[in-house]
Amino acid sequence: MLTTTQRLSMLEIPAGVIDVVIDSDTYNEIDDQFAISYALLSPERCRVQAIYAAPFLNHRSVSPEDGMEKSYEEIGRLLSLLGQDVPRFRGAPCYLPDEDTPVVSDAAQDLAQRAMDYTPEKPLYVVALGAITNVASALLLNPEIADRVVIAFLGGHSLDWPQNREFNLSQDVAASRIVYGRGAPLIMLPCLGVVSTFTTTGPELDYWQRGRNALCDFLVKNTVDEVKTYAEGKVWSRVLWDVTAVAWLLNDDHRFLHSRLIPTPVPEYDHHWGSAPLNPLCRYVYHVNRDVLLGDLFGKLTKGGGRA
């Protein structure tokens, strides 16, 4: 079990080059692609060791397993565009049946084994951008890793939001409760009310990204095509909230995000936050410096995406 000193140190903004794994429902919408690219194009801080495909179910999949498989293929497309060779693993084909039973997958097994090479002084950073089934399953398969990882989870809404029915968290509440309740140091990046402020627009994408390279054109097309499904011919902005979980790793001098320490709350099955004042501390992000972060993201995408 972590000491208070170890936990507080692990919840600080990391320094130097760190090892990272990314768990992502990459095909779910358009922001995971930005986030994964951002991490891979930030070698000054992030050594991405593996990318895991997470399950999802919405209009872009017919089942959680189909969503996971489509995400696995999308990760491959991104890596090809970036010219990078990072191990990718298929994740869970379904959500957890309860809080005691893992869904065994290549992703969960890799994390359960990989994290054992790390320590509280040199943890593995887990960036979770979808339903957190794979990460929870790894914690169930090997509880020891809770003292060896730091989990940055883009999930749930802000603590003062009237409900907590957010896509990533609510798809697998059992998995979310495991991640929040098993003691692993946690960075909370709430969606509505906090990182929902991190948006971009069509004119920004046209000016800063279109035509710069193959990756930028891929990301712009993805975004515009998605917007056409609900806002064609209208004024629009599009949230890129998954990027903020990667931004936490790059947050020197709080240039992108502001946060505070709080007792780790409890994701309840009724889609509200439960209070647990005696729980271990986690770090709660409450503000995004939108323009600074968007500028850094666009700059890296422009420089690192190959030829147009």
pLDDT in tens, 278-303: 999 999 999 999 999 999 999 999 99
267: tokens are 């994701």
Give the predicted TM-score (pTM) of the model.
0.97
Q: What's the Cα-to-Cα distance from 237 to each of 85, 160, 232, 270, rounded to whole Å? A: 33, 24, 12, 30
Report mean pLDDT in 10-residue bins for the chain, 308 residues: 97 98 97 98 98 97 98 98 97 98 98 98 98 98 98 98 98 98 98 98 97 96 94 94 98 98 98 96 98 98 71
pLDDT at 169: 98
- In Å, how far are 91, 236, 307 from 211, measured between CA atoms? 34, 21, 9
**pLDDT score of 269:** 98
Residue 30 confidence (pLDDT): 95
CA distance 113 to 206: 43
As a three-state string, the secondary structure of 140-156 is HHCHHHHHCEEEEEECC
**Residue 240 CB partners (closer than 8 Å, separation 6+):** 30, 31, 34, 35, 198, 199, 200, 297
- Burial of 270 from C-beta contacts in 10 A (0-12 / 13-18 / 19+): exposed
pLDDT value for 308: 44
Q: Could you tell me the CA-to-CA distances from 89 to 23, 35, 50, 104, 292 in Å, in that order?
A: 9, 18, 8, 12, 33
- How far apart CA 94 and CA 171 sit, in angstroms, is 10
pLDDT of residue 304: 79
Q: Hey, what are 290's tokens?
A: 């939108």
pLDDT of residue 98: 98
Residue (of 128, 120, 108, 121) closest to 148 by Cα position: 120
Question: Whole-angstrom Cα distance, residue 77 to residue 224?
Answer: 18
